Structure 1
Amino acid sequence: MSTPNPRFPATRYATLRVVENSETATHWCHMHADLAATPGRACFKPQLINDILKFQRNLSDRLRRAQHDGQQGLQHVVLASDCDAFNLGGDLEYFCDAIRRQDRPALLAYARECVNGVHAFHSGMDVGVHSIALVQGDALGGGFEAALSCHTIVAEEGVSMGLPEVLFDLFPGMGAYSFLCKRIPPHQAERLMLAGDLYSSEQLHAMGLVDVLVPRGQGVQAVEQVIRDNRRIPHARAAMHRVRAMAQPITLDEMQAITDVWVDTALQLGSKSLRTMERLVRAQYRRHGEGDAERVQLP
């Protein structure tokens, strides 16, 4: 897929597999690397969020130093997955526990870290990086938000994506509305968020939410083609990022304010909503290994 950069050995992370290609200035970030050895859930567990933030900070610092030394060139970051799901969304098990304890600080800290991560992909990590989401498996809830945060979404056919939070009387609060409204009209974004339906990658491509749609197994090649196309026009692409940020700004303050609303809404959920979340948690465990499925007890 890509080759390591000999000048900058990739840092090792518990939940990420990071691979760098110096020739194309590309940095691949594969989520759920830990699931290969340990059954679990392909969701945004706190460890995965922490690893992504650490990856972003490390890469941003390195690229900023390189720019200071006069090294130029359009860089690409590809967010992908090492399992058959891109990402199934927020850590519902964590949510249930925090809501039952009415632990607002814990829920708010989690939500704000998520927002910091997706906003960094959206902003090019403040160093002009072009972010690409490679969706080869289902992207639900926060997983779909993470894909939407990227500048380009490449998806393979037959993949499901959507925002099912309304099933437990919540809304997607880590960037969905802001990112959707960059691609589709606000009223359409609201309908999508409140319906809770799942859509195929083919449907989302027709709606304008997926940029590049390819047959199964051709996602990596499609990403590489996007990168080649961008490298032919690096100055125009970099300028387009700046223009987009001026014309359609999504600020971190805006996203933090929205996620505050999400936290306050989550803390109002009752037992019916929590039971729905817990059933989804059990389904996630069964999907990628049943080791801990039975410890999620329904009241």
Structure 2
Amino acid sequence: MSLIERVVLENPAPLVRHATDSYATDWCFMHAGAPPTYHPCFSERLLNDLKTQQEAIRRRLAANSDPRAGIHHLVLASDADVFNLGGDLSLFAKHIRAGQRGRLLDYAKLCVEVAFNFSRLYEDRVHSIAVVQGDALGGGFEAALCCNTIIAEEGTGMGFPEVLFDLFPGMGAYTFLTRRVTPMVAERMMLDARVYSAEELLQMGVVDRVVPKGEGIQAARDMIRRHQRIGNALRSMNTVRQACRPVSLEELLSVTTEWVDAAMRLSDGALRTMERLIRAQQRRAGALSVA
């Protein structure tokens, strides 16, 4: 292997495309520059790239000490044909079969740290928006839920398939979903393995807005422009929301630790089901690369 080849392998291009606009909004597009057979899930590489961008944004906000500074917008979107298909099942199966609880816990902690940052990146200063273009499943649905506003395009599906292999969504689903629906409805959604349409989720109050296919990004831009006039009010609402329905990193870590323990108890049959889903996802990625 040549030196150039080693450098390319050791320093792969980031999987997050970051952009800013005239409103100083930060846009984070997942799955950027991915290879043809890439699987659009939450790999450790994608999670670390997202966390790097979040930390850079937090540093910039901290450098602005103006108490009159308005709301800052952070948008989570995707460059793939889906929003995100969830956790890295291959990694799950590998660590579970090897009995590597600590490795799986490290991954789960990284997931909830990224989720918490989209929920509350810097005190009351940030309003996060998820633009869901294409399906958001498992951890992908959780990623949308942790944002303050969810804009979904028509034809989009969202749900939690984890129960198919006897697990539950443990990276923020309960915490964030119960801020939008009752605990009873949240638990049903977490355990029924249904993929809900964007239109259903809008009626339930889970999604904030549904727009025609291809118009999600523009809808977010329009919302950000309208928000410029009420930046102080939005900052105040962030404070009120946190006071009345607080989201803490400690809560998320407690839940995801239980998720890890549940994962380590999975039977061989459940793991085989997980591995069948992995193969199905790999075939899907291969088909997309040929299309």
TM-score exceeds 0.5: yes
Alpha carbons 2:86, 2:140 under 8 Å: kept: yes
2:239 is the alignment partner of 1:239 = no
**Aligned position for 2:20:** 20
* Cα contact 2:73–2:126 (8 A) shared by 1: yes
> How far does the alpha carbon of each residue in 1:80-128 deviate from its partner, in whole angstroms, 9 at most, with x for none?
0001110000000000000001101000000001000001111134361
Distance 1:230 1:13, change over 3 A: farther
Note the residue ranges of structure 2 that are not aligned, 5 or more in a row: 1-11
Q: How big is each residue's C-alpha offset from its partner over 1:181-215, in whole Å with a ceiling of 9 and x where there is no partner?
A: 00000011011111111111111111110001011
Secondary structure of the equivalent of 1:86? coil
Aligned-pair distance for 1:282? 1.7
Q: 2:255 corresponds to which residue? A: 258
Q: 1:43 aligns with which of 24, 41, 44?
A: 41
Per-residue deviation, 1:221: 1.4
What one-letter code is carried by the residue in structure 2 that aligns with 1:30? F
Q: CA deviation at 1:68?
A: 2.5
Q: What displacement does 1:278 show?
A: 1.3
Counterpart selection for 2:65 from 61, 65, 68: 68
Whether the aligned pair in 2 keeps the contact of 1:60 and 1:126 (CA below 8 Å) is: no
Whole-Å Cα distance in 2 between the matches of residues 291 and 197 of structure 1? 24
SS of 2:111's partner is: helix
CA separation of 1:236 and 1:69: change in aligned 2, threshold 3 A: closer
1:7 corresponds to which residue? Answer: none
Q: Which amino acid aligns with 2:33?
A: D
Mean alpha-carbon deviation: is it higher for 211-220 or for 124-133? 124-133
TM-align CA RMSD: 1.7
Deviation at 1:70, TM superposition (A): 6.8
Compute the displacement of 1:283 (Å). Answer: 2.0
The match for 1:58 among 56, 59, 69 is 56
| Alignment correspondent of 1:267 | 264
**Normalising to structure 2: TM-score of the pair?**
0.92
1:219-241: CA deviation from partner (whole Å, max 9, x where unpaired) = 11111111112111000011000
Residues 54 and 121, structure 2, Cα contact 8 Å, conserved in 1: no
Structure 1 gap ranges (5+): 1-11, 293-299
Tell me: CA distance 1:242–1:13, structure 2 relative to 1, closer, same or farther (3 Å): farther
Aligned residue for 2:33, secondary structure, equals helix
**Structure 1 Cα separation of the partners of residues 209 and 250 of structure 2:** 30
Give yes or no for contact 1:32–1:42 (8 Å, CA) kept in 2.
yes
The 8 Å contact of residues 124 and 239 in structure 2, kept in 1 or not, is answered as no
**TM superposition score normalised by structure 1:** 0.89
Shift of 1:63: 1.5
Deviation (angstroms), 1:286: 2.2
1:43-78 Cα shifts (integer Å, max 9, x gaps): 00000011111110011101211x226782321111
The corresponding residue for 2:29 is: 30
Superposed counterparts of 1:115-126, under 5 Å: 115-126=112-123
Residue of structure 2 aligned with 1:184, choices 172, 181, 189: 181
Aligned-pair CA distance for 1:274 = 1.0
- 2:4 paired residue number: none
Is 1:279 the counterpart of 2:276? The answer is yes
Task: Determine the C-alpha separation between the residues in 1 that align with 2:288 and 2:81.
Answer: 18
Identity over the aligned pairs, expressed in percent? Answer: 50
